[in-house]
């Protein structure tokens, strides 16, 4: 089977090829949640009985990436039930592939399995974000300390390069805040945060970072979209300056300053969302 490479490709970058695709086969009244982004026919070809193990794994990862992006972007809102039959038809993939992809999302904490009730997108709450924030602070400041102690010239170069690319897209956002630019900014923000801790020497810390970062990314993405449509007074912040100050302290090998600034940077998302009304955390019950 020919599997289109979805790794590293955002839904937004595929919007130019959106033509409706398999969404036209969905029952009336059930809009394909991906139709505004991509032609589902281009995501996966039908599986064959002779599909190799490597192809099957690639298919699982591709399906996982598409569903994960849909959750992070709010295409599937918090609490949304994931209907296997609908997703199989929408994605054009098989039961086993979908099941494995959903199991990865469960491991990420983005999907919850409910006995006898199927699967739902994990709910969001201020309490959950607070717990997530504390967990990120513990993991990322520890990993940053170890990276400062262990990292060499190549690590420093990675941090500088990641900061430069992030700054470029942040400058572009000051001119044009379209969805593609916002998505690019989020991707480069992830690369910068990962670069900061990449020399820590602990695969487990890096794995925890990946899990917690993805969960936090959902709050960030949805809060930005929510804030753009609501009149909400929130504390001002300068993310560019925050990133620069963290990087400067890292390059000086000044952990105390770098750790404190990274912790403050992480906590600001929670402080930002604290000002949101309860409606931000509630799913749209009309989507059942």
C-beta of residue 41 within 8 angstroms of C-beta of residue 24: no
pTM: 0.73
d(CA 14, CA 17): 6
pLDDT under 50: residue ranges of the chain? 1-51, 284-288
Q: Which residues contact 148 (CB under 8 A, 6 or more apart)?
A: 250, 253, 255, 258
One domain for residues 229 and 156? yes
Report the pLDDT value the prediction gives residue 227, as an integer from 0 to 100: 66
Q: Phi and psi at residue 80, in whole multiples of 5°?
A: -65, 135
> Is 287 among the domain residues?
no
Provide the CATH number for the domain around residue 243.
Answer: 1.20.120.530
Q: What is the pLDDT of residue 208?
A: 96
- Cα–Cα distance list, 39 to 15, 19, 62 (Å): 8, 5, 15
Q: Which helix (H) or strand (E) holds 135?
A: helix 126-150
pLDDT at 195 (0 to 100): 98
On whether both 131 and 105 belong to a single domain, the answer is: no
Q: Which of 83, 100, 121 is the last residue in one of the domains?
A: 121
Same domain, 264 and 146: yes
Q: List 112's β-bridge partners, or say none.
A: 120
Q: What are phi and psi of 211, to 5 degrees?
A: -65, -50
Of 1, 268, 277, residue with least CA distance to 136: 268
Neighbours of 128 (CB within 10 A): 16
Whether residues 98 and 195 fall in one domain: no
* The pLDDT value given to residue 23: 31
Q: What is the pLDDT of residue 259?
A: 98
Taking only the tens place, the pLDDT of each residue in 14-30 is: 232 222 332 333 333 33
**Strand-pair partners of 119:** 82, 113
The answer to whether residue 50 is domain-embedded is yes
Distance CA 41, CA 27 (A): 17
Whether residues 139 and 273 fall in one domain: yes
| 147/83 same-domain check | no
Q: What angle do CA 59, 63, 66 make, to 5 degrees?
A: 140
Edge-to-edge strands of the sheet including 111-114? 81-82, 118-121, 111-114
Task: Name the domain boundary from 64, 97, 121.
Answer: 121
Same domain, 168 and 43: no
CA of 219: how far to CAs of 79, 126, 133, 138, in Å?
A: 14, 10, 11, 19
Q: What pLDDT is attached to residue 288?
A: 43
* Any domain includes 1: no
Q: How many domains does the chain have?
A: 2
Examine the domain organization and report whether 188 and 84 are in the same domain: no
* CA pair distance 197, 188, nearest whole angstrom: 15
**Segments forming the whole domain that contains residue 94:** 12-121
- Residue 172: inside a domain, yes or no? yes
Which pLDDT value is given to residue 116?
78
State the pLDDT at residue 174. Answer: 75
Whether residues 131 and 70 share a domain: the answer is no
Residue 215 counted as domain residue: yes
Tokens of 259: 């750790």
Q: Are the C-beta atoms of residues 3 and 62 closer than 8 Å to each other?
A: yes
> How far apart are the C-alpha atoms of 173 and 86, rounded to whole Å?
36
Domain-ending residue, one of 106, 121, 136: 121
Q: Are 106 and 169 in contact (CB under 8 A)?
A: no
Q: What is the pLDDT of residue 277?
A: 78
Q: CA-to-CA distance for 136 and 176, rounded, in angstroms?
A: 30
Residue 43 per-residue DSSP state:
T
Q: Yes or no: say if 221 and 73 are a contact pair by the CB < 8 Å rule.
A: yes
Q: SS3 for 52?
A: coil
């Amino acid at each position: 089977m020919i599997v289109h490479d979805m790794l590293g490709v955002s839904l937004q970058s595929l919007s130019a090829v959106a033509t409706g695709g398999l969404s036209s086969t969905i029952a009336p009244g059930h809009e394909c949640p991906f139709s505004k982004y991509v032609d589902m026919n281009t995501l996966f070809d039908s599986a064959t009985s002779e599909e190799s193990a490597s192809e099957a794994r690639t298919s699982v990862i591709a399906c996982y990436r598409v569903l994960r992006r849909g959750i992070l972007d709010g295409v599937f809102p918090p609490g949304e039930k994931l209907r296997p039959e609908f997703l199989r038809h929408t994605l054009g993939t098989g039961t086993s592939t979908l099941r494995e992809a959903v199991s990865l999302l469960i491991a990420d904490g983005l999907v919850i399995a409910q006995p006898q009730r199927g699967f739902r997108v994990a709910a969001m709450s201020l309490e959950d974000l607070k717990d997530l924030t504390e967990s990120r602070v513990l993991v990322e400041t520890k990993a940053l300390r170890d990276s400062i102690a262990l990292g060499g010239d190549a690590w420093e170069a990675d941090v500088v390069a990641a900061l430069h690319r992030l700054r470029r897209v942040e400058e572009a956002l000051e001119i044009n805040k379209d969805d593609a630019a916002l998505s690019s900014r989020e991707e480069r923000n992830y690369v910068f945060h990962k670069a900061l801790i990449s020399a820590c020497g602990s695969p487990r810390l890096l794995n925890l970072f990946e899990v917690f970062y993805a969960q936090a990314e959902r709050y960030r993405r949805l809060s930005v979209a929510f804030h753009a449509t609501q009149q909400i007074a929130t504390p001002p912040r300068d993310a560019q300056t925050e990133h620069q100050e963290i990087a400067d302290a890292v390059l000086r090998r000044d952990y105390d300053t770098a750790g404190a600034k990274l912790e403050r940077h992480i906590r600001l998302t929670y402080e930002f969302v604290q000002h949101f009304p309860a409606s931000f955390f509630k799913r749209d019950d009309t989507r059942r």
